[in-house]
Each structure stands twice: as C-alpha cells, then as structure tokens.
Amino acid sequence: MPIVPTPRRLILLRHAEATSSDLGSFSPDSDMARPLTQDGERAAMRCGIWLRENHLIPDTVLCSPAVRTQQTLAGIQGVLCPPPLENVFLCPEIYEAEPGALAMMLWQISDQARTVLLIGHNPGISEFARWLDSRNAQLDQGFAPGSLAVFKMSGSDLVPDQTSWANCSSTSLILHTFTRP
C-alpha cells in the first residue's frame, strides 16, 4: 500500500488575549512587552489541545518576538506531545506585517516543512488570511485573539515533490478550518 504524504498546511494564529497598553504608553516597545491575560493563557493552552487533537503538530514555527506571541507559543508547547517544537524562529518582521511580507516569509521556508505555524498580530494575520482566501465567508467574522486558520496547499498530498512553499500563493492555499478553540 503506497504511503500518502502529509499535505502541506499553514496554520495562522492570532496571539491569545493580551493585557491592554498602559494609559499614555503607546510606544512599540511597550506594545511588544504586553503579556497575556489569565484568560489568554488558558486560550493558548486550548489552541495547543485543539492542534494536538487534530493532528496538526507544526514542524516549523514563525513567531513574532512580542511577549504575547511568545507566551501563546509557550502555552501551545505545554500541551503538545511530544514537546518541544523544533524549528522555532522569532521573526521581528511579523509585527505589523502586511500580507505580502508574510507571503515572502513563507516562500523562504524549507521544502522539508509540511506543517507551518505562524503566530502574529492583527490586522496582519486577518489580512493575510483574507489575501489567501478572499471568498471564504468564515473569515468575515473577524480574527479574534486565539483564532486559528488552517490552510491546506492544494496538490501537496498528491505530488509533494512538485509543490513547495516557494510557490505558494492565494491560488494554492485553501482555507480548511477556521476556529477559536
């Protein structure tokens, strides 16, 4: 019986709920330092449980270096089996990134990667999701903190040697699941 390869999947995750900025402090440094709330910590763990239960263990993680995104990743890692995740990259360019910049990051991912998790911020994450699948009505509900969008690369389970992250686009990645565990 032939082995069917795992399709390439992209998981977009908006960080879980974070504390508000201090009054009068709207600098990028103070925004980057905002931690998760207790509800946010629990939501990050729920995201990890959902990923585990749906067999979506990432082999590559691109994460904004903001405290809240790193804490979201830590919450996920704490419930995945087996931890820790390998190939975790902190990418400053994710913070305030536009869809084109996020796409360029994907194009540079190794072809060995099958499941990529990108943890970032709004509006970048929601705009990127809409760029990838502009017709999907599920994305109309907004990308609340702790929301996950799972995209599958068309054809990557049939001809894995002919599909790659370098060629992914809005025509090759299709929304499979949108949820907020």
**pLDDT tens figures, 33-77:** 999 999 999 999 999 999 999 999 999 999 999 999 999 999 999
How many structural domains comprise the chain? 1
CATH of the domain at 123: 3.40.50.1240
160: pLDDT strictly greater than 70: no
Whether 128 maps to a domain, the answer reads yes
Whether 2 maps to a domain, the answer reads no
171: pLDDT strictly greater than 60: yes
Structural domain span for residue 136: 9-179
Angle at 173 between CA 172 and CA 175, to 5 degrees: 140
Task: Annotate 93-146 with DSSP letters as a single string.
Answer: GGTT--HHHHHHHHHTS-TT-SEEEEEE-TTHHHHHHHHH-TT-GGGGG---TT
Token couple for 30: 């103070």
**pLDDT tens figures, 109-157:** 998 899 999 999 999 999 999 999 888 888 888 899 999 999 998 875 6
Whether 4 maps to a domain, the answer reads no
Whether 66 maps to a domain, the answer reads yes
Higher pLDDT, 59 or 167: 59
Whether 169 maps to a domain, the answer reads yes
**Element spanning 44, H or E:** helix 38-53
